[in-house]
Amino acid sequence: MSFAALSFTAPWVLLALLTLPALWWLLRASPPAVREQLFPAISLLDGLKLEEQTPARTPPWLLALRLAAAAAVIIGLAGPTRPAARPGLVGPGPLLLVIDNGWAAAADWPARLQAAGALLDDAAQQGRQVRLLATAPDGDGSPPRLGATETVAALRPVLAGLRPASWPVDRDAAARALDGVAAGPVAYLDDGVGTPGRDAFARRLAAIGPVEDLRATDAGALLLGVAAAGDRLVASLRGLPSPVARQFAVLGRADDDTVLARLPISLAAGAASGEAAFSLPAELRNRLGRLTLASTASGDAVAIASAGAVALLDEGDRRHPVGLVSAAGEADAAPLTGSLFYLQRALAPLAELREGSLASLLARPLSMLVLTGPVPREGADALLAWVRRGGLLLRFAYPGLSDAAADAGALDAGASELGVRDSDEALLPVRLLAGDRQLGGTMSWSAPQRLAAFPAHAPFAGLAVPADVTISRQVLAEPSAALDARSWARLADGTPLVTAAALGAGHVVLVHVTAGADWSNLPLSGLFPRLLERLLRLSAGVGASASAGGARALTPVLAPVLLLDGSGVLGPPGPAAIVVPSGLLADTAISPQHPPGLYAPPGSNGAAQRQALNLGQATPLAAAPPVPGATLRGLQVGAARPFGPWLIGAALALLSLDMLASLALRGVLVGARAALGIVLLLCLITAARAQTSPALATHLAYVATGDEAVDRVEEQGLDGLSQVVNARTSAQLAEPVAVLPGRDELAFYPMLYWAVTASTEPDPAMIVALNDYMAHGGLLVIDTRGGDEATGGSDAGFGDVGGDALRRLAGALHVPPLTPLSIDHVLARSFYLLREYPGRVVGDPVWVARDAAAGRDDDSVSPLVVGANDWAGAWAVDASGQPPFEVVPGGSEQRERALRFGVNLVMYALTGNYKRDQVHADEILKRLQQ
Amino acid sequence: MTLAREAEALGARLPPLLLAAERVAATVAQGVHGRRRPGQGDSFWQYRPFVAGDAPARIDWRRSARGDRLYVRQTEWEAAETLCLWSDRSPRMAWRSSPRLAEKGERASLLMLAVGALALRAGERLRLAGLGGQSFFGRGALERVLQAQDQADDGLPSPTSVPADARVLLVSDFLSPESELRSLMAGLAARPAGGCILQVLDPAEVELPYSGRVRFRGLAGEAARLVPRVEALRERYRDALAERQALLARLAGQAGFGFATHVSSSPPEQAVLAVHLALSARRR
């Protein structure tokens, strides 16, 4: 690098260098500063002659030092930059700058703009003019056009305004635009994706002049697709094969951008696709609005701004509309005891419920239809057609069902067509025996029957069978060879309770009792909503397209509602976007006319009718070879490096040296004192960095699990809790501290929060420290973070299970006898009066030590609180003060209750059983009145 | 400053200075053996029987009441020798080169009072040069000396304020113009008076420890003096100081005075002992 290669951002500042000689003269002429000194014996000095006239001049080396500092400041302010080393453009003629601005270029668009800027810099240095060609069609649908030959200065704003499109590039049209272009060097910012016409376009480029093919080293062309598979949502990622494995994260976001779920997804080395399956509770899944892709290369998830990295979800992916056919007049007559009441209560949290007549329900997409009475005669054909297309019909018994069905054909193998022929009761999975079976009661010897365990082939497999569910009356299935396979639930004596049969793409399911509480107490039990949830999962994926019933009038077209732009943000449709023929949406090729986004029938409102068109579903993705004969380069241009700040820093260092030297010259500074000063300064710096003792303030502490994500949740959670406690109570908490029991001293912390994960292993030193902590007045809060199916929280079955790890730990920890936390316990009253103790999830019981000596007000403060509600997740606030995690089932009230429980925990840890009197306040008041 | 506050400030300063002076004096008194006399410190000398011709006012009625005879209280103290003290209170003395040291004026007062205390123990009277003929003796004399000292003028005392044949102790840095010193010593020699002069200096005044470019300012309104390189001047300054001390010693010798020097970084007892011996030698 030669000095001539230096460039200055403000070259006129260099004129100030001319003042350096004047500065030199000034500095040289001025003597060093005088030091004043009081001195009584001045009369003795007066008589003394000065034989040598001391040169009152600055020493030359000091002069040089100061001049160097001044020169460094001046040059530094002039903004010197060292240009990046890269090969220049060769050949005569204007530069042809070709930029791919289709969807595939969006992910690394800033890098592309930078590379283009660097090319323009080169052209400017060589005095070349530039022509620009962007290969994607415009937003108004017009094909790519070649720009006029312009100077670099005129072109920079055009380049800055260039945005990536959400549709692919059109290389055929781009090649046509290049007809008749003058020869000259070509720089091609290539997205590396093969499209039709790519080869012809590459040859056309090569014919114009020497081509530089600039590509991203890690191909940024990524396509995220989504498909519903049973009860899971499968995200698929496609990309150009890369020699190194790449890690990404798929974020499931709600419509309001909240992240509801996050899964890692990877592209193995050389692989072109990867998959990740979301297994979400129905409530969460219904709230998902889209999946976005984020890069995790830097540790944190950084969203990839590209239309290809967004997969929109529509009704087919997430909605499970359930229709309840209400018998005419029944709902009005008995709103609380009618057959629909328990169904409504059980299904409302899980699905979108619709009620009405069969015809009106089938007019709209449905995934499950619940029928508690006879099949209406007029709708039977439509119902059967709907089931065949994939609907799930759930029927319940009613008085008279068996009689009506006795002589009608059931949906037996080979008899299905026959069954539909004339009877409304044909839509049954099994033949029924005439008459009901009465179990128990005054006229019967038999006792009400309990449930048997669910068979393995049934969707209910694995659900716990409560002992208190009894069946006292049911309809009976006719024994047959297929009955066993069709029975999804049985009574203890083996008679089927739930039977099901496949019909076409759908299912017909019959529950052999009524949906009310008159035949059994099944609808009253907690099992009932679980059964319905399993059935809903079975019906998942039977979305709008599959279940669009024949009764529904097919809308001819779908109009664009919200479209993705090139960087993956939803916005209003552009001028070129036009309607798509209904039914063809899935196969529509992405173009300026049909950009990715949400489409809906014209005139419809609400999200229910919207259908998603994603780049990931129909766009082909293949790597393209480089332009023949071209020099292949990466996008990294080696940015010009300004080193002005370094010069100014050096000047400052020189000036401080100068100050030290001047002080030394004036005799103020002697060596020892200077050394002392430096040592003092170092001490101050060290002291400022030194950690303050944890005993100086009250800290909440959490056990460092070693899992970075879990630790961050714990830290954020305790941080949020500390803020709330500081704001609402007189307790003052400092920031939370991560501790490792066995290594760190625990005595300083009143409360220790431990998130037990599945991988937590008891470490002897840790157990000893924790036992000691509990034995000496500490409060250990153990949280297994939800997800444990057995405990029955709202998060059951979702996420990792800490329960097993807790059981392992419990063997080592000195766990006192535990009892569920009741509202009489001090912990429920230590600040707020609480009846429930939710965290991020609800429903899991909270365990505290049982009062060893009940009735005695001794110091029976529980050293241990065990729960699985993931309190830290609910307490957590991120750096911007927002909660990073959603609470389940949701609502600000749940988060508030979680925080209140946290405040109680802190108060309990700080005050022990001080508030126990409050527990007995009623009793005390009563005694006072006597 | 109001009189009350002045008095308060003085009172606050008194005890430590007096204590220090007493302490120094006690140390020195033990060092000089055989000076104690019975009955010292009292104005009483002896009683003698009343004889005709004595003034009736001189009869000591309390003693006479014990017996049948009348006694006269004899006060031999009138014949006691007077030690005339003076310490320099000029602004030049209110200076020290380091916070660890005492100010020169403070040290000069201390030395003067310590010598005075010794003299009081020896039963002698004190007097302050530069003030009127007031003399101090007996209990509390030191305190009154200290109070009276504040009324003295700056500058060298006039020789006429010194009683004839008195023992004189002058404590100062003696950096006044040479002519003034000469006239003072000549005046004292003409009184006649003997005694001792003690030069108190700060270590910085002895060493001139400064270096570099320094503008020196005097404390008594002298013109400032800019010295470009102090270190070059150091040797000649010491010579000048030695010359001044030689002059002082010569002047003192001519006037029949002893001459001692004291640097404020060294302990005061040494100087007190030297002065005390010088004064005693003259007395004998």
pLDDT tens across A3-56, in order? Answer: 445 677 777 888 888 888 888 888 776 666 778 888 888 888 877 776 555 555
Instruction: Specify the pairing of strand A246-254 against strand A259-267.
Output: antiparallel
| C-alpha span between A394 and A371 (Å, rounded) | 6
pLDDT at res. A443: 67
Q: Is the pLDDT of residue A866 over 90?
A: no
Give the nearest partner residue to B222 out of A33, A35, A43, using CB atoms. A43
Q: What would the two tokens of residue B15 be?
A: 């005890």
Give the alpha-carbon dihedral of A343, A347, A349, A350, to 10 degrees. Answer: 170
Q: Is A45 on the interface with B (CB under 8 A)?
A: yes
Mutate to test the interface with A, among B96, B156, B213, B247 (most CBs of A within 10 A): B213
Q: Is the pLDDT of residue B199 over 90?
A: yes
The answer to whether the Cβ–Cβ distance between A52 and B232 falls below 8 Å is: yes
Q: Which residue of B has its CA nearest to A36?
A: B215
pLDDT at A428 over 50: yes
Looking at chain B, the whole-number percentage of residues with pLDDT higher than 70 is 81
Option in A32, A37, A665 nearest B216 (CB): A37
Q: How far apart are CA B84 and CA B166, in angstroms?
A: 6
Confidence check: pLDDT of B264 > 80: yes
Residue A33 CB: number of other CB atoms within 10 A?
12
A38 closest CB neighbour out of B217, B232, B241: B217
Residue B216 forms contact with A (CB below 8 Å) = yes
Whether B226 sits inside 8 A of A34 (CB atoms) is yes
Asked if A370 contacts A398 with a C-beta cutoff of 8 angstroms, the reply is no
Contacts of B232 in chain A (CB under 8 A): 50, 52, 54
Q: What is the pLDDT of residues A545-577, one digit of tens each?
A: 433 333 333 456 788 888 888 888 888 888 888
Tell if the CB–CB gap between B173 and A41 is shorter than 8 Å. yes
Tokens of A616: 């990931």
- CB-CB: which of B173, B229, B241 is closest to A54? B229
Contact B217 A32 (CB under 8 A): no
Q: Which of A134-148, A697-711, B1-15 has the lowest mean pLDDT?
A: B1-15
Distance from CA of A72 to the nearest CA of B (A): 30
Chain A contacts of B214, Cβ < 8 Å? 34-37, 667
C-alpha span between B169 and B147 (Å, rounded): 18
d(CA A461, CA A488): 9
pLDDT band of A427, cuts 50, 70, 90: confident
Which residue of A34, A43, A53 is in closest CB contact with B214? A34
The model's pLDDT over A247-257, given as tens digits with 9 standing for 90+, comes to 888 888 888 88
Angle (CA) A584 A586 A588, round 5°: 65
3-state secondary structure A519-566: CECHHHCCHHHHHHHHHHHHHCCCCHHHHCCCCCCCCCEEEEEEEECC
Q: What is the pLDDT of residue B33?
A: 38
The pLDDT score that the predictor gives to residue A384 is 84
> Residue A902's pLDDT is what?
93
For chain A, percent of residues with pLDDT exceeding 90: 3
Q: Does any CB of chain A come closer than 8 Å to the CB of residue B284?
A: no
Contact A42 B216 (CB under 8 A): yes
CB-based contact, A40 to chain B, within 8 Å:
yes
**pLDDT in the model for residue A817:** 82
Please, are residues A272 and A313 in contact by the beta-carbon 8 Å criterion?
Answer: no
Please give the pLDDT value at position A544. Answer: 39
Q: Do A44 and B237 touch (CB under 8 A)?
A: yes
- Find chain A residues with C-beta within 8 A of B210's C-beta: 37, 667
The region of weakest confidence among A480-489, A576-585, A747-756 is A576-585
* Nearest by CB: B213 against A31, A39, A53: A31
Task: Please determine, for residue B4, whether its predicted confidence score (pLDDT) is greater than 60.
Answer: no
Are the beta carbons of B212 and A35 separated by less than 8 Å?
yes
H or E element that contains A781:
strand A779-783
Contact list in B for residue A44 (CB cut-off 8 A) is: 175, 237, 240-241, 244
- On whether ipTM exceeds 0.85, the answer is no
Contact flag B213-A666 (C-beta cutoff 8 Å): yes
Which DSSP category does B223 fall into? Answer: P
Q: DSSP letter string over A323-392?
A: EEEPPTTHHHH-TTTSHHHHHHHHHTTTSEEEEE-HHHHHTS--SEEEE-SPPPGGGHHHHHHHHHTT-E
Chain A touched by B211 (CB under 8 Å): yes
Interface contact flag, B215 A36, Cβ < 8 Å: yes
**Residue B190 pLDDT level (bands cut at 50, 70, 90):** confident
Query: B212 at the A interface (CB within 8 A)?
Result: yes
* Predicted confidence (pLDDT) per residue in A270-319, tens digit: 888 888 888 877 667 777 888 888 887 766 777 888 888 888 887 666 65
Residues A90-111 pLDDT 10s? 777 888 888 888 888 888 888 8
Q: Would you say B103 and B95 are in contact if contact means Cβ atoms under 8 Å apart? A: yes
What's the gap in Å between the CA of A32 and the closest CA on chain B?
8
pLDDT surpassing 90 at residue B245: yes
CA distance A651 to chain B (A): 27
Q: Identify the band that residue A855 occupies on the pLDDT scale cut at 50, 70 and 90.
A: very low
pLDDT tens digit sequence for B113-123? 888 888 887 77
Closest CA of chain B from A73, distance in Å: 30
Which phi-psi region, left, alpha or beta, contains residue B123 (left: φ > 0; alpha: ψ -120 to 50)?
left
- The residue of chain A with its CA nearest to that of B242 is A44
Shortest CB distance from A48 goes to which of B204, B226, B236? B236
pLDDT for residue A260: 84
Share of chain B above pLDDT 90, in %: 10
Q: Does A602 touch chain B (CB under 8 A)?
A: no
Cα separation values, A47 from A35, A52, A897, B127, B216, Å = 21, 15, 91, 36, 14
What would the pLDDT profile of A794-838 be if each residue is shown by its tens digit? Answer: 555 555 556 777 777 777 888 888 888 887 788 888 888 888 888
Q: Are A557 and A601 in contact (CB under 8 A)?
A: yes
- How near does any CA of chain B get to the CA of A45, in Å? 6
Give yes or no for A50 touching B (CB within 8 A): yes
Cα-flanking dihedrals φ and ψ of residue A911, to 5°? -110, -5
Nearest to A121 by CA among A163, A76, A149, A155: A155
At residue A50, the pLDDT reads 67
Which B residues 219-248 touch A at CB under 8 Å?
219-220, 222, 225-229, 232-233, 236-237, 240-241, 244
> What's the burial of A536, exposed, middle or buried (CB within 10 Å: 0-12/13-18/19+)?
buried
A412, pLDDT greater than 50: no
pLDDT band at residue A598 under the 50/70/90 scheme: confident
Can you give the pLDDT at residue B201?
92
Contact between A39 and B215 using a beta-carbon 8 Å cutoff:
no
Count of CB pairs separated by less than 8 Å, A with B: 94
Residue B210: which of A40, A54, A667 has the nearest Cβ?
Answer: A667
According to the model, what pLDDT value does residue A245 have?
Answer: 82
- Compare CB distances from B213 to A35, A50, A52 and report the shortest one's residue: A35
Instruction: List the single range of A6-20, A232-246, A394-408 with lowest mean pLDDT.
Output: A394-408
Whole-number pLDDT of residue A423? 42
> ω into residue A889 within 30 of 0, thus cis?
yes
Contacts of A43 in chain B (CB under 8 A): 175-177, 218, 222
Query: So what's the pLDDT on residue A741?
Result: 87
**Interfacial B residues in 72-101 facing A (CB < 8 Å):** 92-93, 95
The total number of residues shown for chain A amounts to 930
A41–B210 CB contact, under 8 Å: no
8 Å CB contact between A221 and A196: no
Q: Residue A903 has what pLDDT?
A: 92
C-alpha–C-alpha distance, residues B270 and B27, integer Å: 10
> Searching chain A, which residue's CA lies closest to the CA of residue B220?
A40
Mind listing the pLDDT tens digit for each residue in A676-733? 777 777 777 666 555 556 777 888 999 888 888 888 888 999 999 999 999 998 888 8
pLDDT score, position A689:
57
- Nearest-CA distance A687 → chain B (Å): 30
Interchain CB contact of A666 with B (< 8 Å): yes
Q: What are the pLDDT digits (tens) for B40-92?
A: 334 566 788 888 888 888 888 888 899 888 888 776 544 456 788 888 888 88
- Say yes or no to pLDDT of A246 above 70: yes
- Neighbouring CB atoms inside 10 A of A272's CB total 15
Of residues B256, B245, B261, B250, the one with CA closest to residue B167: B256
Query: How many angstroms separate the CA atoms of A35 and A583, rounded?
Result: 94
Q: Using CA coordinates, name the residue in chain B closest to A42.
A: B218
Put simply, the answer to whether B232 touches A43 (Cβ < 8 Å) is no
Using a CB-CB cut-off of 8 Å, the residues of chain B touching A671 are: none
Which chain A positions have a beta carbon within 8 Å of B213's beta carbon?
Answer: 31-35, 54, 56, 666
Taking Cα atoms as reference points, which of A552, A558, A610, A600 lies closest to residue A386? A552
Closest residue in B to A37 (Cα–Cα): B216
Residue B41: what pLDDT?
37
pLDDT of residue A692: 57
Does residue A596 surpass a pLDDT of 60? yes
